[in-house]
Structure 1
Amino acid sequence: MAFTVVAFLCFVGARNMVDGPATPLGYRLACALVLALLVMAIPRTGSTWTFGAIGVAYSLVLVVGLALNVSGVEQPLLWVLPAMVVIPVCAAPLWLTPLHFFVGSALFYGAAFALLLGGQRAHDVDIVVWMWILAIGLPTSIVFHFGFYRFRRNHFLLESQLAQLAATDPLTGLQNRRAFVKQGERRLEIMTPEERVSAIFLDIDSFKSLNDRFGHAIGDHALYQVAQVLMEETSADDSVSRIGGEEFAVLLRDGLAGALALAERLRGAIAAIERPDGYLTASFGVAEHRSGESIMVLLDRADEALLRAKHSGRNRVCAERALPIEPLHMLAGDAFAEDGALVRQHRWEDYFLTSHFQPLYSLSHQKQVGFEALLRGEENDGTLVPPVVLFAPKPSSDEGALDRASHAVHLANARKSLPGDAWLFLNILPATFVAEGYADQLAMIVRAVGLEPERVILEILESHGGSVDDMSRAAALYREHGFLIAVDDFGAGQSNLDRLLRIRPDIVKLDGELIRATGHGTEQPILPKLVSLLHLAGMLVVVEGVETTEELILAVESNVDFAQGFLLGRPAAEIAPPDSVHRRIDDAFDVIAQGRAHQYALFESEVEPYRTALRRAADALIAGGSMGEAFAFLATFERCISCFILDDSGRQVGLEVRGPAWSADGASLQPVANPRDARWDHRPYFRNAVLLPGVAVASNPYLSLASGRPCVAVTLAVQVAAERSVIGVELDWSVVGLPWPAGE
């Protein structure tokens, strides 16, 4: 077509070489300009109909240009006839469809015939003209058009099939990832500011087990069924894709709420698909497009939500993380009322957030040393929102947003309520704790309310959301600002010694159940030993859940540093005077002081007969008696497991003499059940006897390696046959109700 424009310009130039009246040159050049503009418009056409319309217009303008050029010549037929034959033949391959060809050709010939019929010609000239047009030009153009049309149609069909294969997942018939991303990019480019677009990512749960246990044919069928559910539940405007493996994606024209509703429908529909061992389930992540972001960023946010759905139990829908709130904004403007009084509430969803404070007491100082800030929700009428509602996971919100909001609320309220020398314990989720930049931000908030970070103890909750390495690195950043670190609920969930030793908290809060935990078969509390272990690791200890006087006494006796619980103070919006609690703690110390001597006396009275009998056995051994003779009397005592002699290196001499409490029931300990194979000079009962020669000493209860039971050893260091020996008796101390030494 561009060549035709050049030919038309040559035609204009040739016409100017012929004498006679002619149409003004400007009109003829205007035709050439219009033809050139139509040619340039062709690459921008978006459909075959537009292309065809341009072709028809081009033909008509070309006829007008021919008419203007031949105006005033003596033999116009000589000028026009070649064009009328050649133009349709050359243009025939350019028409995209037969309809375009017939319409364009009819209009071209119609205009040309009107031009030809305007003059008088000889009969033989008319025959020649019609022969050239009907016998040569028109048939040739028809042959050319349909020949090229068939070739072009097959070519286009092949291209279409290849494009379809390149954009389609062969198993499910859905778009593949590449086509999905391209379509998403185009959609985001043309979307209007008020339009909303969301993405849904879903992953079939435990899909690998389906393939591994039942074969890939079953797995492929499951993928096909999921694809059918997606096609049935989505609309024609939505883009649906199999991203890869068992992952699918949906891009829809709707906001976050609509996308969450669709995801829930899809989750329910997929849960109805049977698999050989039950039903399929899928996890979903949903995100709404934010202004200026690319399709890949949108999909990454949906994928992050999908991972949270997987990690929080599968078969659920999770929304994108909300944009981080700015806690400083919560403190600015609405933190104080007009009279300067502190506003204790902040609006959140359908209720208000407020703070309740529960005191922590130093047992040694017998006073309040800190307060744990606990988040509460209040309705408009002041009634409290149930915790199951306040902290219920919501797919459309981010629990981290509530966590950060609680810090602003607590700090604003603590500014007025907290005594001047008390700590504020702030609960913080691991995900918030390790969030980049939050240490700096929280330090700014603390100082903005008039506190210092040294008065704030960050209490890391027992929850998912951060690796131990990340928390250890984050703890160092918080300590640079002066914050103290505590770990909550040690002994429950994921809390373990490795976590403590890596994070190195200043304070460890023991789960309330640990105060009630006892040793197997003895009903003796394990709290004292656990507190001793944590102190050895350089950590102060808080015991939570103190609800009875007996538990308070145990906490004091176990050397716990701080205590918290309903007995010492319930969470409340206002801090209560601590006088009655001081007296209660002081009473606990008195009970322990009074009971310590009594406990000691009970224990001593229980072991004294064994001391006397052991000294009697020592005299018999020194006098040259055999072990059997020397220990005969002692071996008759009810609690006697065995009597033994250890040499100077702690190895057993001869066979032990067994007593009534000896038992062969500890079969599981059989490899270590023979005490003669071991060396015992590292045991306290051996060392204490050597330090006090000639004195019968009783050990604290310990777990016997030989019998697997709690035992007490009574030992005595004596000289037997010119060699130092330690003789002793091991007593069964597993019977419930036996006195234990004070402090154990």
Structure 2
Amino acid sequence: MRERFHRRSLEHQRPLSTVTMAFTVVAFLCFVAARDFVDGPAVPLAYRLTCAPVLALLVLAIPRAKSTWLFGAIGVAYSLVLTAGIALNIVGVQQPLLWALPAMVVIPICAAPLWLTPTHYFVGSALFYAAAFALLSGESRTHDLDVVAWMWIAAIGMPTSAVYHFGFYRFRRNHFLLESQLAQLAATDPLTGLQNRRSFVKQAERRLDNSQPGARVSAIFLDIDNFKSLNDRFGHAAGDQVLYQVAQALMEETAAEDSVSRVGGEEFAVLLQDGLTGALQTAERLRGAIAAIERPDGYLTASFGVAEHRGGETIMALLDRADEALLRAKHSGRNRVCAERAPPFEPLQLLAGEASAQGGAAARYRWEDYYLASHFQPLYSLSHQKQVGFEALLRGEQDDGTLVPPMVLFAPRPSSDEGALDRASHAVHLAHARTRLPAEAWLFLNILPATFIADGYADKLAAMVCAVGLEPERVILEILESHGGSVDDMSRAAALYRAHGFLIAVDDFGAGQSNLDRLFRIRPDLVKLDGELIRATGHGIEQPILPKLVSLLHHAGMLVVVEGVETTEELILAVESNVDFAQGYLLGRPAAEIAPPESVRRRIDDAFNVIAQGRAHQHALFESEVEPYRSALRLAADALLRGVAMEEAFASLATFERCVSCFILDDAGRQIGRELPGPAWRSVVASLHPVANPRDARWDHRPYFRNAVLLPGVAVASNPYLSLASGRPCIAVTLAVQFAAGRSVIGVELDWSALGLPWPASD
């Protein structure tokens, strides 16, 4: 405890000591300068200044002092060098003791709080006074001066420095004890006295990081059986007593170097320096000790899960495997010990088995009660109108070839490892893709976030890809929408996969946890949009949001894949939205064998033809709807140029059915006068009131203003936009007019929120 306190004091004292001692160097230089103003023979200035760089070097050594004894030695050396410097500077003065007296009083007082330990203080102070008296002993002085000097040193200097040192030492000690007590409380479960979960995980991480190569570490996870019934029937006091007794049993049956923790509720964890066999023996011993604890209705029992640490594995992964074994112990009858499951397979071994399959046919891989198989669903480049890739989807097959329902194949169960199934799927898909995938086509492999960020898996997957004769550049890793990894971890992992040549895709953007921050941090090459986004429309209108979303992702440097294309209308929308790749039942269902693409090519080509034919029709519909407003706006402009008042000039236009308001903007985009409301004008809702007044704003950043200025004298119609003044989709028809006082933009805002209205073909 004392050693820890002194090390902690050293951390706190370094900055203070550095600043104080550096200031003393400056004070010493002032002392040297003051000596030059006094008559009398003096030691050459060069000798007197020699002490200053030595003191400065000692100050620079303070931040590098790693031990308390070195810190104290630097302090002693500093005080002695300072004493020598003072002695050199007072040679030749008439009253040397008076020159040295302030330093002999002030220096021990200022240095007192800086000594880390009482030993440092006594040694440093004694050496300082001894050196000072030795250097001054040969000087002649009067009796009165001796008395005054001793009075200042013995009555003021020494007691004050002692008070300062021990007062500051006591303050540091109390602060350290309080800090230690708070740390202990933060790391301890108050009921049992064991480590809490946070402290246990932190200590376990340190042990794993510092463990020697080849060292074996295991984790035991245990849960008290039927603990809830104990609380419900006999009260929480009985439950607390049982928890305390279990904690005592764990402490008695484990070694001092083992970490024991109550991780929550009635769950406990033990980390011990032993292999799986030794940990199982310890768990059996703990199970027997707990079974001897009485409860009001009999004896206590507990279920145990044991797992051994694997190289490169985090503590959380180790505890997860121990927890999985604990669940199996619970499900298999309680009051027993279950060991972790051995790794189900080594992917490279599976691929080797595939390569040696008879007749070159892919061997089936057995998983629990069925076999794993690959079905491939094509992805088409809409612009190229051809298959460019295939997503590999995992399927389960019975012995007779019938498919296992997905809810059975992917159902969570205590005896399965989702990560192991994910890794197995990669080996199975790669083995099947070797013989079924067309040349130069991409293979899309789904991968869980937890697998994606697993240590060393990028290297292992690259080796698997090369083992089947593919190149990593042909493999796109599709990160599934799932828990299991932070965005920072996935971003770092993505860089490792890219270094091997893999491409990265993010699946199901627009669902679950997907968001733009996740995309911009991972920076995938492709983004797969959730199928529901094809059918999504803007609030209160029938217009799809897909085109804008695709444009946003393209601006971010990402290619776009749309999933779930099931109808011809959805295919047409995907083409019209400039989507890069499409996937869905309309283009091809997942199947073990790859279907020929000719019919799909014709379907995509038909979609392009429909869009080409419809674009002109859409443009004509929009123009026919807007043209009356253009004509009326030109007439209003002519009237304004003749000097007609705004209300009269806009009188006809303001009666048109969709007119929200007519307005005039100056050259800076600010509204001139009041707007003239039309039939579509509605009182603004209360929530939009702060932005409802268009006269408070500048509008020269709006496209309808800029386009009018670029085409003076031409009435231009904008694309639909969400109006700040009304909260509705609107379009603006605007015209730049040159008046005598300067250029202005006149315009009319039209309510475009009604269903069925044509939108510009370019939008």
8 Å contact from structure 2 (residues 547, 576) kept in 1: yes
Relative to structure 1, the CA distance from residue 287 to residue 302 in structure 2 (aligned partners, 3 Å threshold; closer, same or farther) is farther
Q: Distance in 1 between matches of 2:497 and 2:368?
A: 30
Relative to structure 1, the CA distance from residue 658 to residue 305 in structure 2 (aligned partners, 3 Å threshold; closer, same or farther) is farther
8 Å contact from structure 1 (residues 320, 396) kept in 2: no
Aligned to 1:287: 305
Aligned to 1:430: 449
Aligned to 1:407: 426
Relative to structure 1, the CA distance from residue 477 to residue 381 in structure 2 (aligned partners, 3 Å threshold; closer, same or farther) is same
Q: Distance in 1 between matches of 2:339 and 2:609?
A: 56
Task: Specify the SS of the correspondent of 1:372.
Answer: strand
Residues 1:328 and 2:348 aligned together? yes
Cα deviation code 1:183-238 (max 9, x no counterpart): xxxxxxxxxxxxxx98334599xx9xxxxxxxxx99x9647437759999xx99x9
Relative to structure 1, the CA distance from residue 297 to residue 502 in structure 2 (aligned partners, 3 Å threshold; closer, same or farther) is closer
Task: Specify the SS of the correspondent of 1:333.
Answer: helix
Aligned to 2:114: none
Aligned to 1:225: 239
Q: Which amino acid aligns with 1:674?
A: N
Aligned to 1:714: 733
Aligned to 1:699: 718
Relative to structure 1, the CA distance from residue 734 to residue 382 in structure 2 (aligned partners, 3 Å threshold; closer, same or farther) is same
Relative to structure 1, the CA distance from residue 330 to residue 302 in structure 2 (aligned partners, 3 Å threshold; closer, same or farther) is same
Relative to structure 1, the CA distance from residue 487 to residue 291 in structure 2 (aligned partners, 3 Å threshold; closer, same or farther) is closer
- Counterpart mapping for 1:411-422 below 5 A: 411-422=430-441
Task: Specify the SS of the correspondent of 2:360.
Answer: coil
1:664 corresponds to which of 683, 690, 694: 683
Q: Distance in 2 between matches of 1:718 and 1:321?
A: 80
Q: Distance in 2 between matches of 1:731 and 1:527?
A: 24
Cα deviation code 1:483-531 (max 9, x no counterpart): 1110000011111101111111100000000010000001210000000
- Taking only the aligned residue pairs, the percentage that are identical comes to 72
After TM superposition, the score normalised by the length of structure 1 is: 0.63
Deviation at 1:287, TM superposition (A): 3.3
- Counterpart mapping for 1:575-586 below 5 A: 575-586=594-605
Aligned to 1:727: 746
Aligned to 2:381: 362
- Counterpart mapping for 1:400-549 below 5 A: 400-549=419-568
Q: Distance in 2 between matches of 1:679 and 1:299?
A: 56
Aligned to 1:339: 359
Deviation at 1:247, TM superposition (A): 5.4
Relative to structure 1, the CA distance from residue 299 to residue 712 in structure 2 (aligned partners, 3 Å threshold; closer, same or farther) is closer
Relative to structure 1, the CA distance from residue 377 to residue 622 in structure 2 (aligned partners, 3 Å threshold; closer, same or farther) is same
Q: Distance in 2 between matches of 1:352 and 1:225?
A: 47
Q: Distance in 2 between matches of 1:403 and 1:170?
A: 37
Deviation at 1:342, TM superposition (A): 2.5
Q: Distance in 2 between matches of 1:666 and 1:320?
A: 62
2:318 corresponds to which of 295, 301, 307: 301
Relative to structure 1, the CA distance from residue 559 to residue 224 in structure 2 (aligned partners, 3 Å threshold; closer, same or farther) is farther
Relative to structure 1, the CA distance from residue 616 to residue 300 in structure 2 (aligned partners, 3 Å threshold; closer, same or farther) is closer
Aligned to 2:213: none
Task: Specify the SS of the correspondent of 2:585.
Answer: coil
8 Å contact from structure 1 (residues 461, 488) kept in 2: yes
Aligned to 1:200: 221
Deviation at 1:666, TM superposition (A): 2.6
Deviation at 1:370, TM superposition (A): 0.2
Q: Distance in 1 between matches of 2:594 and 2:521?
A: 35
Relative to structure 1, the CA distance from residue 170 to residue 703 in structure 2 (aligned partners, 3 Å threshold; closer, same or farther) is closer
Q: Distance in 1 between matches of 2:315 and 2:730?
A: 65
8 Å contact from structure 2 (residues 222, 326) kept in 1: no
8 Å contact from structure 2 (residues 692, 725) kept in 1: yes
Deviation at 1:341, TM superposition (A): 2.2
Relative to structure 1, the CA distance from residue 222 to residue 523 in structure 2 (aligned partners, 3 Å threshold; closer, same or farther) is farther
8 Å contact from structure 1 (residues 285, 319) kept in 2: no
Say which one has the larger Rg.
Answer: 1
8 Å contact from structure 1 (residues 322, 398) kept in 2: no
Cα deviation code 1:125-160 (max 9, x no counterpart): xxxxxxxxxxxxxxxxxxxxxxxxxxxxxxxxxxxx
Q: Distance in 1 between matches of 2:568 and 2:651?
A: 46
Deviation at 1:303, TM superposition (A): 6.2
Cα deviation code 1:243-293 (max 9, x no counterpart): 27645327899999xx9xxx9xx9xxxxxxxxxxxxxxxxx9963244999
8 Å contact from structure 1 (residues 331, 412) kept in 2: yes
Task: Specify the SS of the correspondent of 2:571.
Answer: helix
Relative to structure 1, the CA distance from residue 300 to residue 353 in structure 2 (aligned partners, 3 Å threshold; closer, same or farther) is closer
Relative to structure 1, the CA distance from residue 694 to residue 297 in structure 2 (aligned partners, 3 Å threshold; closer, same or farther) is closer
8 Å contact from structure 1 (residues 201, 303) kept in 2: no
Q: Distance in 1 between matches of 2:241 and 2:375?
A: 50
Aligned to 1:20: none
Q: Which amino acid aligns with 1:684?
A: P
8 Å contact from structure 2 (residues 391, 445) kept in 1: yes
Give the gaps of 5 or more residues in structure 1. 1-168, 182-196, 208-216, 267-283, 311-316
Aligned to 2:413: 394
Deviation at 1:340, TM superposition (A): 2.2
Would you say how many aligned residue pairs link Structure 1 and Structure 2? 514
8 Å contact from structure 2 (residues 505, 528) kept in 1: yes
Cα deviation code 1:698-717 (max 9, x no counterpart): 00001111111100000000
Deviation at 1:668, TM superposition (A): 1.0
Residues 1:651 and 2:670 aligned together? yes
Task: Specify the SS of the correspondent of 1:588.
Answer: helix
Q: Distance in 2 between matches of 1:732 and 1:203?
A: 67
Deviation at 1:307, TM superposition (A): 11
Q: Which amino acid aligns with 1:472?
A: S
Q: Distance in 1 between matches of 2:667 and 2:323?
A: 67
Q: Which amino acid aligns with 1:397?
A: S
8 Å contact from structure 2 (residues 307, 318) kept in 1: no
Q: Distance in 2 between matches of 1:297 and 1:651?
A: 61
- Counterpart mapping for 1:181-200 below 5 A: 199-200=220-221
Relative to structure 1, the CA distance from residue 231 to residue 594 in structure 2 (aligned partners, 3 Å threshold; closer, same or farther) is farther
Q: Distance in 2 between matches of 1:422 and 1:226?
A: 63
Relative to structure 1, the CA distance from residue 495 to residue 223 in structure 2 (aligned partners, 3 Å threshold; closer, same or farther) is farther
Deviation at 1:720, TM superposition (A): 2.3
8 Å contact from structure 1 (residues 460, 487) kept in 2: yes
Q: Distance in 2 between matches of 1:698 and 1:309?
A: 68
Q: Distance in 2 between matches of 1:239 and 1:297?
A: 26
Q: Distance in 2 between matches of 1:550 and 1:319?
A: 55
Q: Distance in 1 between matches of 2:242 and 2:618?
A: 75
Aligned to 2:694: 675
Deviation at 1:467, TM superposition (A): 1.0
Q: Distance in 1 between matches of 2:552 and 2:634?
A: 36
Deviation at 1:325, TM superposition (A): 4.1
